[in-house]
Homo-oligomer: A and B are copies of this chain.
Amino acid sequence: MKKSIKAALIQQAKTADVALNRTRLAEAVRAVTKEHHPDLIVLQELHDSLYFCQTESADNFDLAIEIPSAVTDDYAALAREADAVLVTSLFERRAPGLYHNTAVVFDRDGSMAGKYRKMHIPDDPAYYEKYYFTPGDLGFHPIDTSIGRLGVMVCWDQWYPEGARVMAMSGAELLIYPTAIGWESTDTPEEKERQLNAWITIQRSHAVANGIPVISVNRTGFEPDPSGVTNGITFWGHSFVAGPQGEILAMAPAESEWIKVVEIDMERTETVRRWWPFLRDRRIDAYTPILRRYND
């Protein structure tokens, strides 16, 4: 593990042109690399396309890629060029009729350090992910890289303390959540505020409960609902980094693209876990109900 890492977060708006999205991402990576030479670059969820899960359409399976494939080769080359660990979020075609929402991590030498398949899959109006993604079958295993052991999960996973805990108990030194979440336009301003704050709070709490930093990268911009059933999603941005006490180190605005490099002190976990030794006192003899669906 490095004592300190420079993490770059890239929050972008997306278009229907996948090639253009990839080009703009590569440009952003090159720009931030040239200026800051980060150790880690984190992209948002499903960064190659619009958030296609607003409708259920079989045509959208055309967006999926195999892992590895020419697309992952390109990201591997980008990581190598940037000399940085790169966390990507891809629509994985595993077999005909079998797809996952998969984060792929490339190490700074361009090797594939590992992948994580989104474990918790949402399904709500305008977020029809259960149609597209089979729940992950790789479990909560951190990915070892040259800069440390990364607890990479994806979006909806961020609402589950269990995932964060298993990652931390498996040695994750940093939690990372590529995300795509936003507001429905008919929500009141008060409701929007509650939702955004809940999203920030739950992720900060994973830092607190486990004494490790958290990086969350969300998309921004408005994407209409192709079906016209809803009013579309205004992705709420607010990508952020929290330290191991949940303290906010940097946070993006809602409505604009944002590239930020944040220095994260990776030795702070040692101090914080000595002060607040939560792992010491866990009542593993009494947590069995967590493995049940409901305790009735």
Enumerate chain B residues within 8 angstroms of A139, measured Cβ to Cβ.
286
For the complex, give the distance between the alpha carbons of A245 and B195 in Å. Answer: 7
Q: A202-B246, A205-B205 are in contact. Are A284 and B291 (CB under 8 A)?
A: yes
Q: For the complex formed, measure the closest distance between the CB of A274 and the CB atoms of chain B, giving whole angstroms.
A: 10
User: Closest residue to A274 on the B side, CB-wise?
Assistant: B124
B295→A169 contact, CB < 8 A: yes
Q: A194-B245, A198-B245, A290-B166 are in contact. Are A160 and B284 (CB under 8 A)?
A: no
A2 contacts the other chain (CB 8 A): no
For the complex, give the distance between the alpha carbons of A277 and B160 in Å. Answer: 11
Task: Give the interface residue-count category, chain A.
Answer: 35 or more
B294→A140 contact, CB < 8 A: no
- Work out how many copies of this chain go into the complex: 2
Q: A282-B120, A284-B293, A289-B170 are in contact. Are A161 and B197 (CB under 8 A)?
A: no
A296→B159 contact, CB < 8 A: no
Q: Which of B135, B161, B247 contacts A165 (CB 8 A)?
A: B161
Q: For the complex formed, measure the closest distance between the CB of A138 and the CB atoms of chain B, giving whole angstroms.
A: 9
Contact indicator per residue, chain A 266-286, by CB within 8 Å of chain B (1) or not (0): 000000000111110111101
Q: For the complex formed, measure the closest distance between the CB of A135 and the CB atoms of chain B, giving whole angstroms.
A: 7
B198→A246 contact, CB < 8 A: yes
10 closest A-B pairs (Cβ-Cβ)?
A205-B205, A161-B161, A170-B295, A169-B295, A194-B245, A198-B208, A198-B245, A202-B208, A166-B289, A120-B281
For this complex, 13 residue pairs linking A to B, each with C-beta atoms less than 8 Å apart, are: A119-B286, A121-B281, A124-B277, A159-B278, A160-B283, A161-B205, A162-B287, A165-B290, A166-B289, A169-B295, A170-B296, A194-B243, A202-B208
List residues of chain A with CB under 8 Å of any chain B CB: 119-122, 124, 135, 139-140, 156, 159-163, 165-166, 169-171, 194-195, 197-198, 201-202, 204-205, 208-209, 243, 245-247, 275-279, 281-284, 286-296
